[in-house]
Amino acid sequence: MLKVLARRWWVVATVMVLTFGITFAVTSQLQKRYSSIAWLRVGDPVDNLFNRDAEDVSPGNEQRAVLLTLDSPRLRARLEKLANEGGGSLIETTATGLEASPLIRLDVTATTAALARNAANEGARFVIEERRERRSQALSSAADVAEVEADRLNQELVDFEARLNEPSLTQTERITITDQQTAAATEFRATVLAAARANSGAATQTGGLEFYENASLPRSPSFPQPFGWAVLASLASMFITSAILYARAEHSARFTRGDASEGNVVGARMLGVMDNRPAPAKSALGIRPQEVALRLLQLRSGRGVRSITIAATEGPAPVALAENIAKALTNAGERVVLLRPSTGADNVRDDFLSATDRDDEMEMPVGNSSDSPPEHREALYELSGNDLAKCRDALTKLDANGELAVVAVSALDESPTSLAFASLTETTIVVATMRKTRLQATEITVSRLQEVGSDIFGLLIDTDS
């Protein structure tokens, strides 16, 4: 992958620069949002408005945020009025309470920095005032109830006093009324004291909340973040572009050098780059048909190779290359038969295999006293044939005649006969074309040949167009 990036670094750099610029330009046009925070302090955990159940609060518990949206109609009207006066609009108002902390944070997001700060402070004041009003109203209501009860008890005391002044009361009745008067007087004093405390509390009630820290003026918007987003987008584009380039290189990479590294990629030994010109090979990677024939003869003498498949990775059978190798083997003294697929102009008999020469010429030894160079003979096979038995019979007949079969086959995915011959012959040479054949296609061909048990002699790169 690093090699791919080293060759295509300018593509990655260009995409990153374009992504950065476009992202920065687009996000800079978005509506800016400013956030400000005001802090409140809860004097008593019971007074925490932002906990669902105050009895569940425990300082030993992990701090857990409980979000509450301040959607009170009065608060909304108050903040909207503030927004209309100062310009801008409010986007979000939330409060967060922490179980193990007495602090409450009030977050306000607005379209202007001043509105965000003012709305946060105003929202905090609203929470404090609302809590104070609720407590004061509750205490005032309790004071009113206590005052009504005190008036009733006071009237009872007056009635008891009047009854005690009646001359007709017996001693027992007087004692009973006196006890009732004493109890009513005690209850009256307690009720009057409770009413006084309630009135005093209503006047001095704070609600249990107080300002801890006022909201500050935000210096920069919380949304959008053009520079940060542009950096993230450019990094993401770098990874995506690198992955695409690597995948494309893996899928469409062609043979460009013909060295061992490309052979390792496809999983086959690199024989070299074929040079069919009469002049000697111009590079160390070049290999001539005579050298390929010599290596095949060494393999033949060592392992008794009787048939060779020359398989194309893509496209039609490499007949010209196979002819050159067959000629080199013939010049080395071998009796060679080149099997090539038939074309539409060829007349192929029903016996699957036919000779292009007369029978007497087929049986004629290669070596003769004439000055003409020895020639191999050719035979045709049907391109659409897929009968393993016929392929085996053809190779067996040639072997019985002491002839070395060189079979030129097209790409494996174009003809089932190609895979059949490759599975029956003793060794196979895989042929690819320089700057045309894809490495991935060659790797697939090698894998398919190995799956059918074909022995791969090596990979040969052809330079012919």
Condensed to tens digits (0 to 9), the pLDDT of residues 144-162 reads: 898 898 888 888 888 888 8
pLDDT at residue 22 tops 90: yes
- Please state, as a whole number, how many other Cβ atoms lie within 10 Å of the Cβ of residue 91: 16
49-81 b/e with 16+ CB inside 10 Å = b?
bbbeeeeebeeeeeeeeeeeebeeeebeebbee
Average pLDDT taken over every residue of the chain: 79
pLDDT band at 361 (very low <50, low <70, confident <90, very high): very low
Please report the pLDDT score of residue 178 as a whole number. 87
Name the least confident of 20-29, 229-238, 264-273, 378-387: 378-387
Q: What percent of the chain has pLDDT over 70?
A: 80
At residue 63, does pLDDT exceed 70? no
User: Tens digits of per-residue pLDDT, 131-142?
Assistant: 888 888 888 888
Split at pLDDT 50, 70, 90, the class of 237 is: very high
Average pLDDT over residues 443-449: 90
**Nearest alpha carbon to residue 353 among 383, 318, 314:** 383
- Nearest alpha carbon to residue 308 among 334, 346, 288, 275: 334
Under the banding of pLDDT at 50, 70 and 90, the label for residue 24 is very high
Percent of the chain with pLDDT over 90: 13
Contacts of 381 (CB under 8 A, 6+ apart): 339, 340, 341, 342, 348, 352, 353, 391, 394, 417
pLDDT at 53: 47
Name the pLDDT band for 277 (thresholds 50, 70, 90): low
**Where does the pLDDT of residue 230 fall: very low under 50, low under 70, confident under 90, or very high at 90 and above?**
very high
pLDDT at 238: 92
- If DSSP codes are grouped into helix, strand and coil, which group holds residue 130? helix
Query: CA 240, 246, 247, 248 torsion: positive or negative?
Result: positive
pLDDT band at 348 (very low <50, low <70, confident <90, very high): very low
Q: Please, are residues 383 and 369 in contact by the beta-carbon 8 Å criterion?
A: no
Helix pair 9-28, 226-252: axis angle to 10 deg: 150
pLDDT tens-place string over residues 183-200 = 988 998 998 898 888 888
- Mean pLDDT confidence for 445-465: 86
Q: 369 or 20: which carries more pLDDT confidence?
A: 20
pTM of the predicted structure, to 2 decimals: 0.50
Strand partners, 93: 108
pLDDT in tens, 79-91: 888 888 877 888 8
